[in-house]
Chains A and B, each alone.
Chain A
Amino acid sequence: MKMIVAILQPHRLDTVREALASVGVHGMTASEAQGYGRQGGHKEIYRGAEYEVHFVPKVKIEVAVSDDDEDRAVEAIQTAAQTGRIGDGKIFVLDISRAVRIRTGESGEDAL
């Protein structure tokens, strides 16, 4: 089992959700996040004054998938989230050592 953690441009979230659904991945957790990468934030202008915004608004999604689904899911996210501009985000894949469905107590891939 793999946990796919992806940092996205907020406006790509719907596209990514649809892309994951179309490759058979159902279920994800999304949270509002803020961060910066190589571009180091951006500038915003209010009343003529420039403000350095170090932490740019992002969405973080977490998707747990079986080992077989990993490649398809990663590709779906990468394609759907891409705009080609700086700040498109990153995808990280981690191993899951254990998973439990709280309602039934099922564990392993049955819990996904």
Chain B
Amino acid sequence: MRISRLATWVAAIPALLITLTASGQAMAADALSSGDTAWIITATALVLFMTLPGLALFYAGLVRARNVLSVLMHCVAVACLASIAWLIIVYSLAFGDGGGLNAYIGGTGKAFLAGIGPETLAGNIPETVFFMFQMTFAIITPALIVGAFPERMRFSGVLLFTLLWLILVYAPACHWIWGGGWLADMGVMDFAGGIVVHTTAGVSALVLVMVLGPRRGFPREIRPPHNPGMTVMGACMLWVGWFGFNAGSALAADGAAGMAMVVTHISAAVASMVWAAIEWVRFGKPSVIGIVTGTIAGLAAITPASGFVGPLGAVVIGVLAGVICQWCTGLIKQTLKIDDSLDVFAVHGVGGIIGTLLAAVFAVESLGGLGLAEGVSMGDQFVVQVIGVAAVALLSAVATWIIAKIVAVTVGLRVSEEEEIDGLDISAHGERGYDLT
């Protein structure tokens, strides 16, 4: 849905502009759907709410008390920086016309929204709305990576990393899949960002912390989450916002959006129960941190499949997200001893990859899906999905490694040991989250 729509638009926009110039605003008014526009404006607000404050609170509750503000700060600052970068160049690189290089990267023609006014349309919604909707995705994706490096990364390093990452990872990955690039041409299905958002963030999180190193005392001396209630509040905001993320990615107020909403909710509910049930069996008690981590895993996993699969697919994807993502948290942190502190790869990366691969399976009509493209078999589509995930994972890993090295030799990646012990709230921001007197 989304892919074909976008491909059509990218091709149609120059023609549209010519039409507008020739015949004035009447044409635009005819093509604009006020229903679709109203829904995408609403969805944009919902997706921004996922980051601010949803994700910020979700992460902040999981760190120790002396770093709570630094995590909130990271999320807010990343959101602001990503918004500015989006306006300046990243939107253009993701959705602009790249000319001869268009298979790999967009051009600079839409930098600073050049040539785009209130009448410019993207499909049947104003391009300003499309710009804002997509911006909220470019905000949450680097904000997800914040969960990998809390309690030890230098603030200036966070900013420089985020800026370079948006240009070198997010812009090309987004262009390849949603902006009419080579993976879009190949027919990769990624409805709302299993690859563009969750695979990029998850893989980059893992590579970044391998360069950055673990928190002091990891894994034995790490303190447990300081405020699980805050984490639950954030997770529930993410859940609500995710309706905008997935159902909004239909870019229309239509049946695909409705089904996307159904499967999003079902997958989240199933994965939550599965995660808690496994904990109940393994440890004797189902935990609230566990149930909401299951929620996020289920939401991430259904994301790429949400406009393609039906309720059956949602249940299966939810179950697998609950089982596999939970297993991966142990694999990464306890077996491989990689301090991806808040499990960005295990929950988002793995969840997004599961959903991307299974979209090919459960999109098939006999399994309750909305159907694959004509003449494409499940096997063919599955191979395309594997190529999409592998290509973007490789881009994310290589580019993140290079960016991390650049940050390390310029502004620096890590705070000093003393600053880490004092906590980033005081050492980096001069504030305390809790005053107990």
Q: Given the complex, which residues of B lie within 8 Å of A53, measured CB to CB?
A: 224
* Contact among A44, A47, A51 for B293, CB-based, below 8 A: A47
A36 CB, min distance to chain B CBs, angstroms: 15
Residues of B within 8 A of A44 (CB): 224
A105 interface hit (Cβ, 8 Å): no
Report the Cα distance A51→B287, complex, angstroms: 14
Interface residues of B in 285-300 (CB under 8 A from A): 285, 287, 289-290, 293
User: Which of B221, B224, B282 contacts A46, CB < 8 Å?
Assistant: B224
Q: How far is the CB of A61 from chain B (nearest CB, A)?
A: 18
Please report the total number of A residues contacting B with Cβ < 8 Å. Answer: 9
Interface of B is mostly: helix
Which of B68-76, B80-88, B329-337 contacts its partner?
A: B329-337
Chain B, interface size category, equals: 20 to 34
B326 & A48 in contact (Cβ 8 Å cutoff): yes
Number of A-B contacts (CB under 8 A): 35
Assess the A47–B290 pair: CB atoms within 8 A.
yes
Query: Is B283 in the interface zone, CB < 8 Å from A?
Result: yes
Please tell me if A45 contacts chain B, counting CB pairs below 8 Å.
Answer: yes
With a cutoff of 8 Å between Cβ atoms, the chain A residues found around residue B223 in the complex are 51
| Contact partners of B293 in chain A: CB under 8 A | 47
Given A51-B224, A53-B224, CB of A46 within 8 Å of CB of B287: yes
Quick check: B334 and A45 within 8 Å, CB to CB?
no
Answer whether residue A49 sits at the interface, using C-beta atoms and an 8 A cutoff: yes
Q: What 1/0 mask marks residues of chain B from 208 to 231 whose CB sits below 8 Å from any chain A CB?
A: 000000000001111111001000
Q: Confirm or deny: B119 has a beta carbon within 8 angstroms of a beta carbon on chain A.
A: no
B36 located at the interface, meaning its Cβ lies under 8 Å from any Cβ of chain A in the complex: no
> How far is B282's CA from A45's CA once the two chains are assembled, in angstroms?
11
- Chain B residues packing against A (C-beta within 8 Å): 219-225, 228, 279, 282-283, 285, 287, 289-290, 293, 326, 329-330, 333-334, 343
Closest 7 pairs between A and B when the two form their complex, measured CB to CB: A51-B224, A48-B330, A47-B329, A46-B289, A44-B224, A45-B283, A46-B224
